[in-house]
Chain A
């Protein structure tokens, strides 16, 4: 990857998300609408990151992996409505369930169209979304977890020789990193954003597994980071120390690292491919 490609595939989505989020600080000052800025930032950045690789998605898509971005966009539309219904703000579980149902209907990767897979997608989106942001978890937790898990999936996709998915997951990881920094600089409401990142994470994982028939990446490596998100949330609630947020992130990072290291250990030395 040369500097021009880094700017194109990662810099542009990050710039778009950052600009939208910073604009929303001024345009959407009301507390219950603050998360809308972050939702739009992630949704638009997803579309931009994908369009830079494959152009705008068509319906029905020309390739099944394009359902990934179409699913995120469908969930994005649902999530955009959510901040307007303030009374429902605390119904994280219901929101995650609806997002899971939408994802299980839209995501149609090769070999994953059976009822069992649909149920699997529903539960994964449900648990990952809830794991990313329980009500008491600090809001930056969502971004830092999404950042590391999407980065992990990007590395796995590269190892599975699926560079476009690697670029896509990598750019969304960079978007999460940028939003983490902005959240530290100026903390804002982030309700509902976890749904979009949840669908992105599950989508990238399922997509990577579907297009890796030779199992260049062990199957469990695609799903371990997702399990790590739920584990991190559990660790946070079980820990009684003041460092529980750090322990929670550490639990997630262990899963991420194990997933990446195990994949590298399973592989033959990576010879140079296309640049």
Chain B
């Protein structure tokens, strides 16, 4: 009887272990669609060498793909969604003085490779295209969470990096010191499984 009980427990454990492995593999692979509402791109520039000026882009979209736990990203930001809480400033940022939204309506980041460098931290190598110029970009991407809830399976990532805007042909106010050449960018992504 004791032998039979042990066998039964062993079978249950074996099945539960196999099921758990399958679930874990599903969780670490698959395509996720970036949620525009809960994703944000914030930028910060030094204004007149005095204060820090913040703005954000409200329309961040794209796809996150998890392959055996490693993420890949295709992120697109609509330039005309720039929001500084000042309409006049928004228009100026959209003009050819800065982003030239008429000619270059989106800014994109496409990753090429990623490697895990720590607990939920990844070094992601890719290319950023902004203002018609494409440059390589390596970012440190932190996985902020992965859950399954009533909205399905969701994943979140966040990164922080600095861009030199003159490298993208965006030189307005650099020489005069009106606005800094280096712009700090924070991108926070939330995505739901497709």
Contacts and interface: CB of A to CB of B under 8 A. Distances in A.
Question: Which of the listed residues B86, B89, B102, B172 has the most CB atoms from chain A within 10 Å of its own CB?
Answer: B102
Contact of B102 (A4, A111, A268, A275): A111
B102 A213 contact: yes
Given A160-B95, A161-B88, A214-B91, 10 more contacts: A62-B132, A63-B100, A160-B91, A162-B95, A162-B97, A164-B97, A211-B100, A271-B86, A273-B92, A274-B92
Interface string B79-99: 000000011110110111100
B173 interface: yes
Given A163-B172, A274-B178, A64 B103 contact: yes
Nearest to A274: B178
10 contacts: A2-B176, A63-B96, A63-B103, A64-B103, A161-B97, A162-B97, A164-B96, A211-B100, A213-B102, A214-B91
A160 B96 CA distance: 11
B88 A271 contact: yes
A5 B176 contact: yes
Interface string A145-163: 0000000000000001111
A63 to B, nearest CB: 6
Give 3 nearest A-B pairs by CB, closest first.
Answer: A161-B91, A161-B92, A110-B102
Contact of A273 (B89, B169, B171): B89
A64 B103 CA distance: 8
Interface in B46-81: 47-48
B179 interface: yes
Interface of B: 47-48, 86-89, 91-92, 94-97, 100-103, 132-133, 169, 171-173, 176, 178-179
What is the interface of chain B mostly: helix, strand, loop, or mixed? loop
A140 to B, nearest CB: 34
Contacts of A268: 87
Interface of A: 2, 4-5, 54, 62-65, 110-111, 160-165, 210-211, 213-214, 216, 268, 270-271, 273-275
What is the interface of chain A mostly: helix, strand, loop, or mixed? loop
B176 A216 contact: no
B88 A270 contact: yes
Given A63-B132, A161-B91, A275 B96 contact: no
A202 B8 CA distance: 88
Given A110-B102, A110-B103, A275 B178 contact: yes
Contact of B96 (A2, A5, A65, A216): A65
B176 A162 contact: no
B88 A273 contact: yes
Given A62-B132, A161-B91, A161-B92, A275 B100 contact: no
A213 B80 CA distance: 11
Contacts of B92: 161, 163, 273-274
A179 to B, nearest CB: 28
A273 B133 CA distance: 26
B96 A211 contact: yes
Question: Which of the listed residues A54, A63, A161 has the most CB atoms from chain B within 10 Å of its own CB?
Answer: A161
